[in-house]
A and B are shown apart, each in its own frame.
Chain A
Amino acid sequence: MNATMPIRRRAARGAIPGAAPRRAVLARLMPRGTLGRELLVVAARRRALALKVGIPLILALPLIIGGAPTFWAGMLLTVLVAMMGAVGTAVNLARARQSGLLVRLALVPRPGWRVVGGVVGAGAIVDLLQLLPVIALVAAAGGAAPDQWAALLLAVMAGLLTGSLLGCLVACLAGGVGEVLLDVCVLLAPLLFFGGLFTGVPRLGWGWTVATIDPFGQLGSAFIGALGGTPAFSPATVLLVSTVAIVVVLAAVGLLSRPLLERR
């Protein structure tokens, strides 16, 4: 009985995910800030990472292979990007608050925008990486030109970051992880609607203006263009608006960071 105990213990340790050679590589990486820490945590969860890459692909494949109308395919893919950015960030931050991690991060002598920016940035990077196969598939299937590729890539980044900003806002307001999905939908629905995703972009008036400055309106247009449809906005407009949106969103995340960290 006693002789088997050390063997059992070794076997139990070996069974825990992360005891493989992957650990040896990851264990050498020392996280300096929240960005590195979050990326390291994600990289260590291979199964979750594989699922995160697989799910968008599974959703996108029937749309693209089945030759869905570009308007509807663009709409669905835009909603997917928006939900990934917003829900991912909101859940991550709500969990961090519940576990006490945000309290500890609030006490480090670093600017709040760096601390929260690292968490949000890591989430956006991971989301972008998991969407890359879908973007490549879309662009390849639609025979997109290089400027459409670039516009789509930047619009996806802007969409993810805008979603992340909403996620931060939700994490500030929500009472817990359970509330997050509802709050995200409440905030996202008008943005998606006014971006012209469900009804098309109006040709004139305030509707057109709102859809133009709405990053999700631009993203929807970029998807439609990359899929071979007729986009509402030119790639140049998408590039310009998405760049401005990224800057504005990063600034807004910076402004939200302290209230987010210090809310109890």
Chain B
Amino acid sequence: MVSGAVRRYPGGRSVGPIDIDVRAGEVLALMGSNGAGKSTLLRLLATADRTDCGRVSWWGDPSPRRARRQMGYAADEPVEETTLSPRQATYFWCRQWVRDPDVARRLTSETLASLGLGDRADEPVGTLSYGLRRRLALAQALAHQPALALFDEPSAGLDPDGVAVVTAALRARAAAGLTTVVASNDPEFVAGVADRVAMLHQGRCLRVAPLPELLAEVPRRRIVELRVGEAVPGRNGPHAAAGTGPTMAGEAADDRGPGWAQRTLTLAVTERLASLAGVVVLSAADGLVVAELEEEAALAPLVAAADSVGSGVRSLEVRRPDLRECFPALVGRDAGGGQVDAPATLPARGSR
């Protein structure tokens, strides 16, 4: 539990006051823009840093020494001696908590296997890729099965398979009643792993809520995806012949370069939508136009506008915004619900 915790840095920058209550057995994700205070909060929880004022307690106990007995922490940079093997490195950290060497050996092997490092466990760490070293750092923090595990950007540098493996490991911890706090700006990872999400902004915790609740905070908004340019399988266009992919309807077989017709069509649709009230075009590229509806009523004019383009629009999909799209709006909101420095609209995907 963090109550009114403030951490001041040289130069006048400070984080806090932060109030947050981590529940037993949950996976809590800390999200926020760079410099929002995620890593600082994580270090305070990990006892790696001290508050300048306020209070941090673990299971009702303010003693960092006692808290360390039940804690595991992995910082955002994987650090390990390159000459040791993952098994040796993980065993070493496990043994700092687990007195029985046989139990430590078993836990080490199980943890490495659960994070997909079983077959590389006896190779030097120096031979592992960055992603595998990230997994190793997590294994070292998890091997002793701490009641509270704290990870800074655990999905950074991981491939999709790695993200799935780590997600599964953290969900397994939650199922076993063990608590995990992750600081992450990876919306897909957070959506897959977190029970609750804490949104941090400028050193303050704005909201702590389950993900669906947070997403519902942007209730009126809808995202529309329009695919422009119909794919014509088997058409013998100049690019199909060159093996560069399917050609698009409306793509003239002239010398104006590959994808020229599609770009023209995309531009036409974008201009059409941008002229509509209540519609904000978020991105337009490669035949995909993403727009945001600021109100439901804007949907009908948008469909009509898309229809007017003719056969150029291949598909139209309306959906709720995902965490990635909600993220800037959520972190830009102050505690009272007003806008602090949030943009009027969500920024384009490509800019994130």
Interface positions of A (Cβ within 8 A of B): 13, 16-19, 23, 27, 29-33, 36-37, 40-41, 44-45, 99-101, 103-104, 106-110, 264
Contact = CB atoms under 8 A, between A and B. Distances in A.
A109 B79 contact: no
A13 B48 contact: no
A45 B124 CA distance: 12
Contacts of A23: 85, 122, 124
A37 B127 CA distance: 19
Interface in B37-87: 46-49, 65, 68-69, 71, 73, 75, 77, 79, 81, 83-85, 87
Given A100-B75, A101-B79, A27 B95 contact: no
Contacts, number: 81
A16 B46 CA distance: 35
Interface in B118-156: 122-124, 126-127
Nearest to A264: B49
B96 A103 contact: no
B127 A30 contact: no
A126 B215 CA distance: 58
B88 interface: yes
Given A30-B91, A31-B91, A107-B47, A41 B83 contact: yes
Interface residues of B, number: 31
A106 B48 contact: yes
A33 B71 CA distance: 18
A13 B124 CA distance: 10
Most buried by B among A17, A103, A264: A103
Nearest to A18: B124
9 contacts: A18-B124, A27-B87, A27-B122, A30-B91, A32-B92, A44-B124, A101-B79, A108-B96, A110-B96
A52 to B, nearest CB: 15
A44 B88 CA distance: 13
B124 A19 contact: yes
Contacts of A17: 83, 124, 126
B79 A40 contact: no
B101 A32 contact: yes
A18 B47 contact: no
Contact of B69 (A37, A40, A109): A109
A210 to B, nearest CB: 39
Contact of B68 (A19, A33, A109): A109
Interface in B204-219: none
Most buried by A among B71, B85, B87, B97: B85
Contacts of A109: 65, 68-69, 96-97
A153 to B, nearest CB: 29
A100 B79 contact: yes
A29 B77 contact: no
B320 interface: no
B84 A13 contact: no
B105 interface: yes
A108 B97 contact: yes
